[in-house]
């Protein structure tokens, strides 16, 4: 079944909708989506939860200048779509309807992943096998592990976009995530470890190595934290491990370089292209083309083919991440960052896979260089205030470094810094760039999966928020 | 969106048709429609219309349960979804704690909470745009230093319906109105590379009825005051201080306490408050209840997601845990009775004290007032607490200067034990109704 047949909608139908709703000077776009999800969870040592869901509909967007009208319906019939479209176009100042039909041509996206729908073919037992295997691995990791819960979620999103500029395109976007949470207990003290894996693809991507890796990571975190001491408070050097520390980039400089904040002049980086905004060791990239990465897209949610966008090169600000509306308003190129959570939402500039490029330092030398500081290996998340640039990121696996040696685990800390300040304090960058394989969901009013990456880096000083003064 | 009776009837017919195939079947449907408008500098940014009818169906057979969900499109389509349950039930294993709720628990509380404003069904975009532009203009007219980062107005009307194998089917309507403004000022910081530094703050309000919303004047005034007050903020000195959480910043703390007392967290032992029933876990001045039957309450409801009739729950009385927040299932796990709390707390109500925020500050020699927090560093599993913060430094009983880029670190247990004051200033535009709170002995990490 081809995409038109699947959604029961043709390009002639699109022209009928545009003729009914579109006024002169407006841009209109129909976003068809059908999503299926399957979730199986293993808790209390039994397969406890099995869930499926199906949802879908059509989002209609009408844009006039910087104004957007948005409406959606949860069905695919022409009558509902026209009715919905009329709501969206009610923002119009113009009352003359467009009369000429649009000529369409297909946008063929990249081929970064592939998938088929899942509910036809449950294969639930296969997922159960993986869950039993990973929880078994966790229990065998150590006698200290007293509880292991795991879950696998698969999602396939089928989309069809058609717009009044004459573009249309189809994509099928798979997403699988595995998560494991364990409890370690000793002498009445409990600690927790979580780890996960996510990729664009199906559950069949999850193999034995991945199960082992996720289990080891979660168990190690929980057991380490049984011995962790309270983290110190104050300003000190921090070493960020390769991979998950990409949270720093995502929060500190990623969000403020999204073009909607630039158009609204609320970002601290507004009007600063060409200026030095970071240490010359920092090259920051947002890439939508890494095969299989959770943040990658064959084209974005507006049919712009994704690319690798260099945001900051050797400390110099190069460009911002755009969707169509903001690229046009600010007068900068399209980068393929227009994304949305679902047909219920309007696309806005969002990150894809954001990372700091590799440097030249030896990771071991970076740790050796620290007299007294903190090493952070994995993170629970982060948050930023776009205007002031203040951001936090929250480690869940950290160690105290003394005289160049990793001494003991520490816990209960948040790192806080100011984005533009912190990037000037990056003074060592490792050659070990690594991408996180975890499930990172970014929330900016809408939840979308993103990727992050980072080499080992040293920040000369940042505020460490532990409880020990 | 159709009428409440229509959806109740659909849910009733569905359970009637399919109940014989399961030991227990329940349907939870929430139909909702909304309009939201966003305005920036007098121009429309966005007008969004939505109408959505998510439906969730749980079926149980031989001690196993499975769930399907989707959009409600028709009875036939929903029937197809229900058929997926059988495939799922094949792989689920029998749960020894599974229990069908007793018939007498199921029902709709008889209370007139005045939660629905019919106006919500007839909200008109043009009218909302006009109102939003007015709010923005009013805010900008109050100071020539502030710029707009956007104003919004939103209206929601919804219907919640529950039906189950007992052929119980009922529902209730609810509406929300919200408005707010976000403002920006230019700022600079000494010894900083942050050349484009700005400060952003705003204010907003939510209510179940239009006439309960704060006036534009109150919202605008508060937003302008809050953003101007942030100018020139600095990092505080690292140290241990008395710390006041302003009411709006304290909501997250108490929401975490409620999660730590939820049955699911407790039976999984993923809470620092495991085995705390009837034990003293906090200061004498801490009393918390969860009141689903609050008139005009943002979190009010007449039944929970198990279909159990709502009632008041005394959670903490003078520092002692009196009840957990329990669903039918988690209650059974813990050998207790449901508190009609499936789906979480409703209106979490922290008993206020006598003093205003100013009076609390007046008694502090050197301390910190926190107006907002960020980050995921509140861990109710271990009780660890470390979050990013901003606010003001307090000296000699007065607000001295704005501070930012610092953290507050402690543990939930220490914080509960060291609540020294709760204010009289309850924050009402939230389902966590809390006054400002003073904690002693909190580590502040700054410069």
Query: What domains, with CATH codes, occur in chain A?
Result: 3-226 (3.30.2290.10), 230-465 (no CATH)
Q: Which of the four pLDDT bands, split at 50, 70 and 90, describes residue A1? A: confident
Q: Are residues B301 and B286 part of one domain? A: yes
- Tell me the two tokens of residue A352: 């894809």
The candidate with the shortest Cα–Cα distance to B244, out of B360, B410, B389, is: B360
Low-confidence ranges of chain B (pLDDT < 50): none
Residue of chain A minimizing CA distance to B187: A388
Q: Does A71 touch chain B (CB under 8 A)?
A: yes
Distance CA B239, CA B441 (A): 9
Q: Are residues B268 and B148 part of one domain? A: no
**E strand intervals along A288-371:** 308-313, 316-317, 338-339, 348-349, 353-356
- Tens of pLDDT along A221-234? 999 999 999 999 99
Q: State the DSSP H helix or E strand holding residue B130, giving kind and residue range, or none if neither.
A: helix B125-141
Mean pLDDT of chain A: 93
What is the least distance, in Å, from the CA of B340 to any CA of chain A? 22
Q: Are residues B242 and B212 part of one domain? A: no
Is A72 within 8 Å of B92 when comparing Cβ atoms? Answer: no
Q: Which of the four pLDDT bands, split at 50, 70 and 90, describes residue A119? A: low
Q: Residue B441: its chain A contacts at CB < 8 A? A: none
Is residue A92 pLDDT above 80, yes or no?
no
Rounded mean pLDDT, A436-441: 94
CA angle A333, A339, A296 (to 5 degrees): 90
- Tens of pLDDT along A361-401? 999 999 999 999 999 999 998 999 988 889 999 999 999 99
Q: Residue B200: its chain A contacts at CB < 8 A? A: 266, 385-388
| Residue from A232, A255, A385 to probe the interface with B (highest B Cβ count within 10 Å) | A385
The candidate with the shortest Cα–Cα distance to A158, out of A305, A2, A348, is: A2
Q: Which of the four pLDDT bands, split at 50, 70 and 90, describes residue A266? A: confident
DSSP state of A165: T
Residue of chain A minimizing CA distance to B441: A467
What separation, in Å, do the N-terminal and C-terminal C-alpha atoms of chain B show? 55
Instruction: Give this prediction's pTM.
Output: 0.94
Q: Does A91 touch chain B (CB under 8 A)?
A: yes
Residue A168: C-alpha distances to residues A30, A81, A302, A320, B230 (Å): 9, 17, 9, 25, 47
In chain B, how many domains are there?
Answer: 2
Q: Are residues B245 and B215 part of one domain? A: no
Contacts of B151 (CB under 8 A, 6+ apart): B38, B39, B40, B132, B133, B135, B136, B139, B179, B180, B181, B182
What is the least distance, in Å, from the CA of A110 to any CA of chain B? 30
Residue of chain B minimizing CA distance to A222: B382
Domain of B143, CATH number, reads: 3.30.2290.10
Q: Are B226 and B203 in contact (CB under 8 A)?
A: yes
Q: Are residues B116 and B42 part of one domain? A: yes
Is B381 within 8 Å of A84 when comparing Cβ atoms? Answer: no
Q: Which of the four pLDDT bands, split at 50, 70 and 90, describes residue A99? A: low
Rounded mean pLDDT, A415-428: 92
Q: Are residues B177 and B130 part of one domain? A: yes
Q: Are residues B433 and B352 part of one domain? A: yes
Is A466 within 8 Å of B375 when comparing Cβ atoms? Answer: no
Q: Number of CB pairs < 8 Å for A and B?
A: 267
Is A264 within 8 Å of B94 when comparing Cβ atoms? Answer: no
Rounded mean pLDDT, A153-157: 93
Q: Does A411 touch chain B (CB under 8 A)?
A: yes
Q: Are residues B264 and B211 part of one domain? A: no
Q: Are A32 and A7 in contact (CB under 8 A)?
A: yes
Q: Are residues B261 and B159 part of one domain? A: no
Q: Are residues B240 and B201 part of one domain? A: no
Q: Are residues B67 and B27 part of one domain? A: yes
Q: Which of the residue ranges A113-127, A234-248, B358-372 would you say has the lowest mean pLDDT?
A: A113-127
Q: Does A367 touch chain B (CB under 8 A)?
A: no
Of B229, B258, B285, which closes a domain?
B229
Q: State the DSSP H helix or E strand holding residue B433, giving kind and residue range, or none if neither.
A: strand B432-433
Contacts of A329 (CB under 8 A, 6+ apart): A66, A263
Distance CA B5, CA A456 (A): 60
User: Token pair 């969000």 is at which residue?
Assistant: A255
Query: What region does B188 belong to: left with phi over 0, alpha with psi -120 to 50, or beta?
Result: beta
Report the share of chain A in percent with pLDDT over 90. Answer: 84
Q: Does A227 touch chain B (CB under 8 A)?
A: no
Alpha helices in B230-352 (DSSP H): 247-260, 263-267, 328-334
Of B171, B201, B229, which closes a domain?
B229
Helix (H, G, I), strand (E, B) or coil at B374: strand
Quick one: pLDDT at residue A122?
Answer: 64
- State the angle between helix axes of A78-88 and A11-21 in degrees (0 to 180), rounded to the nearest 10: 40
Of B191, B209, B229, which closes a domain?
B229
What's the domain range around B313?
233-447
Is B194 within 8 Å of A421 when comparing Cβ atoms? Answer: yes
Q: Are residues B53 and B76 part of one domain? A: yes
- Tens of pLDDT along A279-300? 999 999 999 999 999 999 999 9
Is B445 within 8 Å of A234 when comparing Cβ atoms? Answer: yes
């Amino acid at each position: 079944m081809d995409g038109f047949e699947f959604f029961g909608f043709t390009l002639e139908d699109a022209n009928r909708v545009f003729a009914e709703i579109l006024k002169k000077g407006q841009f209109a776009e129909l976003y068809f989506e059908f999503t299926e999800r399957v979730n199986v969870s293993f808790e209390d040592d039994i397969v406890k939860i099995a869930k499926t869901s199906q949802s879908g509909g059509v989002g209609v967007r009408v844009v006039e200048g910087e104004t957007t009208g948005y409406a959606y319906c949860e069905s695919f019939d022409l009558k509902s779509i026209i009715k919905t479209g009329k709501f969206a176009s009610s923002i119009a100042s113009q009352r003359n309807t467009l009369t000429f039909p649009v000529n369409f041509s297909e946008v063929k996206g990249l081929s970064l992943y592939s998938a088929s729908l899942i509910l036809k073919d449950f294969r639930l037992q296969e997922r159960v096998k993986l869950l039993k295997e990973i929880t078994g691995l966790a229990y065998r990791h150590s006698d200290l592990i007293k509880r292991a819960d795991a879950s696998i979620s698969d999602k396939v999103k089928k989309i069809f976009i058609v717009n009044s500029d004459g573009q249309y395109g189809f994509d099928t976007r798979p997403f699988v995530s595995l998560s494991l949470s364990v409890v370690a207990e000793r002498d009445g003290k409990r600690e927790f470890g979580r780890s996960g894996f996510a990729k664009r693809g199906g559950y069949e991507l999850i193999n034995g190595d991945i199960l082992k890796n996720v289990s080891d990571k979660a168990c190690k975190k929980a057991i380490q934290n049984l011995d962790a001491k309270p983290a110190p408070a104050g300003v000190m050097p921090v070493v960020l491990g390769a991979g998950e520390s990409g949270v720093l980039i995502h929060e500190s400089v990623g969000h403020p370089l999204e073009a909607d904040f630039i158009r609204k002049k609320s970002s601290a980086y507004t009007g600063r292209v060409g200026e030095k905004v970071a240490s010359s060791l920092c090259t920051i990239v947002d890439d939508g083309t890494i095969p299989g990465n959770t943040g990658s897209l064959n084209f974005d949610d507006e049919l712009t083919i994704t690319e690798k966008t260099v945001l900051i090169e050797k400390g110099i600000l190069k460009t911002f991440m755009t969707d169509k509306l903001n690229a046009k308003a600010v007068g900068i190129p399209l980068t393929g960052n227009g994304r949305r959570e679902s047909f219920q939402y309007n696309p806005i500039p969002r990150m894809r896979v954001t990372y700091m490029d590799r440097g030249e330092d030896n990771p071991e030398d970076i740790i050796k260089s620290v007299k007294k500081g903190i090493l952070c290996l994995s993170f629970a998340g982060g948050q930023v205030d776009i205007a002031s640039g203040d951001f936090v990121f929250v480690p869940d696996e950290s160690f105290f470094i003394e005289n160049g040696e990793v001494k003991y685990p520490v816990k209960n800390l948040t790192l806080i810094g100011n984005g533009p300040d912190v990037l000037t304090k990056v003074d060592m960058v490792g050659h070990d760039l690594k991408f996180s394989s975890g499930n990172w969901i970014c929330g900016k009013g809408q939840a979308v999966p993103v990727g992050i990456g980072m080499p080992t880096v040293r920040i000369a000083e940042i505020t460490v928020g532990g409880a020990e003064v | 969106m159709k009428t409440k009776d229509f959806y109740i009837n659909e849910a009733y017919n569905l359970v009637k048709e399919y109940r014989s195939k399961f030991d227990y079947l329940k349907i939870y449907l929430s139909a909702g429609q909304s309009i939201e408008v966003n305005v920036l500098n007098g121009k429309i940014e966005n007008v969004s219309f939505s109408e959505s009818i998510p439906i969730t169906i749980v079926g149980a057979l031989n001690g196993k349960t499975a769930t399907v969900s989707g959009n409600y499109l028709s009875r036939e389509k929903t029937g197809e979804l229900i058929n997926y349950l059988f495939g799922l039930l094949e792989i689920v294993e029998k749960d020894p704690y599974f229990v069908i709720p007793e018939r007498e628990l199921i029902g709709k509380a008889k209370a007139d909470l005045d939660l629905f404003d019919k106006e919500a069904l007839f909200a008109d975009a043009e009218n909302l745009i006009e109102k939003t532009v007015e709010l923005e203009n009013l805010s900008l007219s109050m100071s020539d230093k502030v710029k707009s980062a956007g104003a919004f107005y939103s209206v929601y009307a919804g219907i919640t319906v529950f039906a189950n194998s007992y052929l119980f089917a009922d529902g209730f309507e609810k509406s929300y109105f919200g408005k707010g403004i976000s403002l920006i000022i230019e700022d600079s910081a000494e010894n900083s590379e942050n050349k484009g530094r700005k400060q952003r703050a705003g204010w907003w309000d939510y209510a179940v009825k239009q006439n309960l919303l704060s006036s534009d004047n109150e919202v605008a005034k508060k937003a302008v005051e809050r953003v101007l007050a942030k100018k020139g903020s600095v990092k505080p000195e690292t140290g241990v201080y008395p710390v006041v959480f302003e009411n709006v910043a304290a909501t997250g703390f108490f929401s975490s306490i409620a999660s730590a007392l939820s049955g699911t967290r407790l039976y999984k032992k993923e809470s620092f408050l495991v085995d705390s029933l009837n034990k003293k876990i906090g200061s004498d001045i801490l009393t918390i209840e969860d009141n689903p039957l609050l008139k005009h309450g943002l979190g009010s409801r007449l039944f929970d997601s198990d279909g159990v009739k709502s009632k008041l729950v005394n959670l903490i009385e003078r520092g002692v845990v009196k009840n957990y927040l329990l669903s039918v299932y988690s209650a059974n796990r813990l050998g207790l009775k449901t508190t009609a709390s499936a789906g979480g707390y409703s209106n979490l109500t922290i008993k206020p004290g006598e003093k205003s925020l100013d009076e609390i500050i007046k008694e502090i020699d050197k301390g910190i007032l926190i107006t907002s927090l960020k980050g995921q560093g509140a861990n109710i599993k271990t009780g660890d607490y470390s979050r990013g913060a901003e606010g003001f430094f307090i000296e000699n009983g007065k607000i001295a200067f704005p501070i930012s880029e610092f953290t507050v670190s402690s543990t939930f247990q220490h914080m509960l034990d060291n609540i020294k004051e709760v204010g009289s200033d309850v924050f009402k535009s939230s389902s966590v109704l809390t006054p400002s709170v003073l904690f002693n002995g909190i580590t502040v990490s700054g410069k």
